[in-house]
Structure 1
Amino acid sequence: MSSLVYLIPLALLLGGAALGAFLWSLKSGQYDDMQGAAERILLDDE
């Protein structure tokens, strides 16, 4: 039971860090062009 005192705040901290990283990637434009990368591998560059 005493281990929950450490594990619950650690889980909340890691979840908050993951949420912060996701929001940062949204603001930096990571997900702006979802079709471009998928179609770029099909094009033949010379």
Structure 2
Amino acid sequence: MNILLLLVPLALMLLVVAIVAFAWAVRGGQFEDLETPALSILADDEAPPAPPERNDDA
């Protein structure tokens, strides 16, 4: 039963840390735009690499 004297305050401190981290993320704008990051993987921004030049002089 003595372990509860340690575990209950520890659990409450972890809960407070999780709430503070969530509030920090919300205030920082982490949840503002949920669509763009999901669609950015589908965007084809880069041009394909050019094929290597052939050198038939050898």
Q: What TM-score comes out, normalization by structure 1 length?
A: 0.95
Structure 1's consecutive aligned runs of 4 or more residues displaced over 2 angstroms after TM superposition are none
Q: Which has the higher Rg, Structure 1 or Structure 2? A: 2
**Larger RCO, structure (CA 8 Å, separation 6 or more):** 1
Aligned residues: 46
Percent identical residues: 46
- Residue segments in structure 1 that go unaligned for 5+ positions in a row: none
Larger proportion of helix:
1
- Matching residue of 1:36: 36
- Residue segments in structure 2 that go unaligned for 5+ positions in a row: 47-58
Q: Within 5 A, what are the aligned runs for 1:10-29?
A: 10-29=10-29
Q: What TM-score comes out, normalization by structure 2 length?
A: 0.76
RMSD: 0.6
